[in-house]
Structure 1
Amino acid sequence: MDTPGTSTVRHAVMQLLRDCGMTTVFGNPGSTELPFLDRWPNDLRYVLGLQESSVVAMADGYARATGRAAFCSLHSAVGAGHAAGSIFTAYRNQAPLVITAGQQARSLLPLNPFLGATEAANFPKPYVKWSVEPARAEDVPAALAHAWHIALQPPCGPTFVSIPMDDWSAPAEPLPPRRIGRDTAPDPALLKEAAVALAASRNPVLVIGPEVDAAGAGPAAVALAERLNAPVLASPFSSRASFPEGHPLFAGFLAAAPNVVTAGLAAHDLVLVLGAPVFTFHVAGDYRLPPLIQMTADGEAIAAAPAGTGILGGLRLGIPALTALLPRSDRPAPPPRPSPPAPAAATPIPVEYLLHSLAAARPGDSVIVEEAPSHRPAIQQHLPIPDWGGFFTMASGGLGYGLPAAVGVALAHPGRRVVAVIGDGSMMYSIQALWTAVREALPLTVIVLNNGGYGAMRSFSRVLGVENAPGIDLPGLDFPSLAAGMGCPARQVADPADLAAALSAAFASPSPMLIDVALDPAIHTLYRKG
């Protein structure tokens, strides 16, 4: 307990959370966190998740949607272990998180106590940017301020602080408020070289990744593409909106396969990559690249690029500076991207028909959070994303992100409809996040793409020539019953004639609703030309 009239670690940390804008705290509490939770202040919001992996994914979605760091409180080393997959995903998503975990009392640590961890700060490494257990109780506020600062420095990412439970009541003075700059300007000489090369190019192409949206540089990227009058491709596995997909310069998606990237870039004499690695692949193969220029705030992405010129710097500053150096191009506009034909209704329901119906029915300002890897090509064809900030998925490939991230995105945008598009296999990793969505009364629509198994595994089995692999089919899952058990209204749709009414009811609901759509289990090709 805090002593009345004294400033404690807990007092100092609460003020730090306010000063840093981390007033929404995501947590799953245990005994080692109770001193932190004591007499919880009314001006801080505590969002309860029922498992630590969901807690971190919720905070990840919230941080990415707001552009601010989010605060997570996990229960001891075991809680950090539960959350490890989501911590890795946050690292790959470049989501700014300050993650804490409770630790046993300092006086007990030499005795290897229950809930104690001798190497707590090492536990989440290497997938946090910085990790510490402060040497003294009074150092905890400064350690959290340090963690917040590092989490927000590009490339953003999670940080970790282990806090012994008796530290919270120790004396400590509040820290002075901190302000930090987050943008660095690229080298002007390299920008001039890039402008000369782009102006001389006969047929350039832009490849744009998630960092553009994360940096708030989307409108600047559109202005650059229009100045060049060049086609734009989304980078492989882009985890955010890469470009408005209704824009006439948008040319589609690069798949995460070397041969497809080679084919997609072969006609171009210069590639400008903005805010993406060069490139994220999922399958092996040989590839060839035209001359390439890459601009990003991620030095590791530049170091890993196999070729080209790397321009290190913030995109919010770098893209407008590059545009200002370019003359307006008189090259002819690229041909428009063909629109796919409207899919026909059938039973079982084709995924293309579901996605086309969803695109027509969803509110115009809704946000899509996707975790349906086997259906991503169909999503890219039939569920276009028109706006910056309108799409999120995970960059890690690890399942279990989508539903809790959708909860975090909905918390970040009160009143705005969020649509979680999630495969049946993915849904079972973090289904308990539905409880939090119900508790918070969020306008969240959950669409389960139920093809009765792990569709990506079916596809890869065909690609790799694997037959009769176990563990791929998922019979007997009753998602409406699971949702109802957490207080979430739900319905199952197997007839395409019922789909429009189900979507309409879900979008009219002010609170969460789940629709389980029985899909055709046909195997889909993951890597086709976008």
Structure 2
Amino acid sequence: MTGGTRPTVRDAVFGLCRSTGMTTVFGNPGSTEAAFFRDWPEEFRYVLGLQESVVVAMAAGHALGTGRAALALLHSAAGVGHAMGAVYDAYRDRVPVVIVSGQQSRELLPLRPFLHADEPEQLPRPYVKWSRQPARAEDVPAALAEAHRVATTRPRGPVLLSVPEDDWDRAAAPVPPRAVDDGFTAGAGSLSRLAERLAECARPALVVGPGVDDERVTDEVVELAERTRAAVWFSPMSCRSGFPEDHPLFQGFLPPVPGQLADRLGGHDLVLALGAPVFRYHVRADGPHLHPGTELFHLDCSAEDAAWLPHGTSVLTALGPAVRALNALVAPATRTAPAPRPLPGSPEGPRPAPESGPATAARLLDLLRERLPRDAVLVEEAPSHKEALHTRLPVTAPGGYLTTGTGALGWGLPLAVGRALASAEEDGSAVRRVVCVVGDGSAMYSVQALWTAARLGAPVTFLLLDNQGYAAVRQLGARAGVARVPGTDVGGIDFAALARSLGCPAAYTDRAEGLADALAAALEPDGGGPALLHVRVQDDERDASAAYPAREG
């Protein structure tokens, strides 16, 4: 304790962080947070990010890896403002990040001082679950405890606590630890009726959303799919996996386009969505949400998502107890299972990319499918190549795929770093390597994260696909009838040199020949730390919009 035997706000907060496992602190320090670092505990780890959105995204990756909330320390108003793109991603993707933001001293606030935050509770809203600046210094520890409980109660998400700089040395009592059990489930009657419909229907389908991976119930969902012989789809723009993509019941990815989504589900008389916002659209188009004859049930822990869903019956529940109950209630079906989708390497699957000539994303992804360790975590933020990745690189391991479900770029690269740091902290087994497939446009939003990866030896491989522009935007413009979208050509950046200047080993290639060796070196770099492979790709840009092509007429 500081100041003799008198416990302070700082003491109480350090104690709370220990009890909740938030001893790795992600931050970018500023003057209004400096007092927090006095008497810094030896067992605490400070992870420096060079920009605030990078800080929050790294904290999010760490939270996804550990399953616990992560602590991010930000500067006052401007720092929180810099971080808002990542805060938005964390909110939409339900990642528990506890953000503590600095604030000027209380006695100066009436004078509108330098670096103060006006209405700090309002600045991050509506993209946090909870935000406060306590009225008294002694209330800070209890407020942080409440923030942690809110962040980790389903649906999980970011929270923000603003702390004036002179609060840390004030007297405060420690906060006793307590827990919230959020494993709630639907009533027995609701689940019994759903089980009856699953038994009676002719052609069921499951729509798997990010909630399945978040609640770690992939095995239970596989059992439910096999019991019901249901086709399995991923929800549109899903930020997580949740079902092995090489399973014969897996059918693919629903498009974020009205009408097209309805067409994909039109052959099913019952659709059960699990932790999935089914109707998350990206492109406006004519067409219904669902065709007549398709009955929808929706299981999720979010009352907000249940409220806006335009169709079906929503059942509020944690997925784990609900899916386990359904597996106990539903007898194995005898109906014919849907035909499996073509897999890479099969005669009906995608043709192998050329092994010579200019490098392509397809060639890199073919090679990555062969060489990616089965337990690796794949992080993707390459919008131009998302369809090629899903077609050529099935994700099979639980927790094996992370991306942005929002389109707020800059998430993937630092998310991969935070996830890799969590992997390096795991006990007892070999380090689980993280592989980040990132586009050139996306990388420039958060390239500073390479510095942190290099300084801490994070076990992450960055595969940077460089098509010298925002090809996805060009193609969406073409879909809308815009012949040329200005501001979409971004070339001339030497990413390998940039990575090396930040301390990250890097290599470059623009040819398919030799790509296999370059990939092998990036996946197993000397020392086991980070590595970047910059691949200049020559791709058909139609791949960028293949996930939702233009409708005829």
TM-score (norm 2): 0.94
Query: What's the secondary structure of 1:399's corresponding residue?
Result: coil
1:281-321 CA distances to partner (integer Å, 9 max, x unpaired)? 10112224211111011111111111111111000111011
**Residues 94 and 155 of structure 1 are in contact (CA less than 8 Å); yes or no, is this contact kept in structure 2?**
yes
Gaps of 5+ in 2: 344-348, 425-430
- Aligned position for 1:511: 529
- Aligned position for 1:400: 410
Inter-partner Cα distance in structure 2 for 1:6 and 1:288: 61
Query: What's the secondary structure of 2:146's corresponding residue?
Result: helix
- Aligned position for 1:349: 359
Query: What's the secondary structure of 2:514's corresponding residue?
Result: helix
Inter-partner Cα distance in structure 1 for 2:368 and 2:403: 17
CA 1:337–1:319: 2 relative to 1, 3 Å: same
- Aligned position for 1:238: 238
CA 1:21–1:381: 2 relative to 1, 3 Å: same
1:421-452 CA distances to partner (integer Å, 9 max, x unpaired)? 00000000000000000111011100001111
Gaps of 5+ in 1: none
Report the CA distance between 1:521 and its aligned residue: 4.2
Tell me the amino acid that sits aligned with residue 531 of structure 2.
Answer: M
Inter-partner Cα distance in structure 2 for 1:333 and 1:130: 45
Report the CA distance between 1:118 and its aligned residue: 2.5
Inter-partner Cα distance in structure 1 for 2:498 and 2:320: 44
Inter-partner Cα distance in structure 2 for 1:156 and 1:265: 29
1:147-168 CA distances to partner (integer Å, 9 max, x unpaired)? 0000111111111000000000
Tell me the amino acid that sits aligned with residue 423 of structure 1.
Answer: G
Point out the more displaced range, 383-392 or 60-69. 60-69
Q: Where in structure 2 are the equivalents of 1:380-529 lying within 5 Å? A: 380-414=390-424, 415-509=431-525, 510-525=528-543, 526-528=545-547
Tell me the amino acid that sits aligned with residue 448 of structure 1.
Answer: L
**Residues 356 and 513 of structure 2 are in contact (CA less than 8 Å); yes or no, is this contact kept in structure 1?**
no
Report the CA distance between 1:38 and its aligned residue: 1.5
Is 1:321 matched with 2:325? yes
TM-score (norm 1): 0.98
- Aligned position for 1:8: 8
**Residues 233 and 251 of structure 1 are in contact (CA less than 8 Å); yes or no, is this contact kept in structure 2?**
yes
Kindly report the root-mean-square deviation, in angstroms, between the aligned alpha carbons of the 2 structures.
Answer: 1.3
Point out the more displaced range, 506-515 or 159-168. 506-515
1:242-298 CA distances to partner (integer Å, 9 max, x unpaired)? 310111111111111122212211111111111101211101122242111110111
Query: What's the secondary structure of 1:408's corresponding residue?
Result: helix
Give the paired residue count. Answer: 530
**Residues 379 and 437 of structure 2 are in contact (CA less than 8 Å); yes or no, is this contact kept in structure 1?**
yes
Tell me the amino acid that sits aligned with residue 204 of structure 1.
Answer: P
Inter-partner Cα distance in structure 2 for 1:421 and 1:197: 41
- Aligned position for 1:287: 288
Inter-partner Cα distance in structure 2 for 1:524 and 1:410: 33
CA 1:441–1:357: 2 relative to 1, 3 Å: same
Tell me the amino acid that sits aligned with residue 135 of structure 1.
Answer: A
Report the CA distance between 1:386 and its aligned residue: 0.5
Inter-partner Cα distance in structure 2 for 1:160 and 1:512: 31
Tell me the amino acid that sits aligned with residue 7 of structure 2.
Answer: S
Inter-partner Cα distance in structure 2 for 1:83 and 1:207: 32
Tell me the amino acid that sits aligned with residue 385 of structure 1.
Answer: V
CA 1:529–1:86: 2 relative to 1, 3 Å: closer
Inter-partner Cα distance in structure 1 for 2:463 and 2:73: 29
**Residues 93 and 394 of structure 1 are in contact (CA less than 8 Å); yes or no, is this contact kept in structure 2?**
yes
Tell me the amino acid that sits aligned with residue 185 of structure 2.
Answer: A
Inter-partner Cα distance in structure 1 for 2:296 and 2:47: 45
- Aligned position for 1:359: 369
1:114-149 CA distances to partner (integer Å, 9 max, x unpaired)? 011231111111111111000000000000000000
Inter-partner Cα distance in structure 2 for 1:451 and 1:366: 25
- Aligned position for 2:175: 175
Inter-partner Cα distance in structure 2 for 1:302 and 1:188: 19
Inter-partner Cα distance in structure 2 for 1:23 and 1:402: 23
Tell me the amino acid that sits aligned with residue 434 of structure 2.
Answer: V
Report the CA distance between 1:527 and its aligned residue: 4.3
Tell me the amino acid that sits aligned with residue 483 of structure 2.
Answer: E
**Residues 260 and 527 of structure 1 are in contact (CA less than 8 Å); yes or no, is this contact kept in structure 2?**
no
Is 1:23 matched with 2:39? no
**Residues 275 and 295 of structure 1 are in contact (CA less than 8 Å); yes or no, is this contact kept in structure 2?**
yes
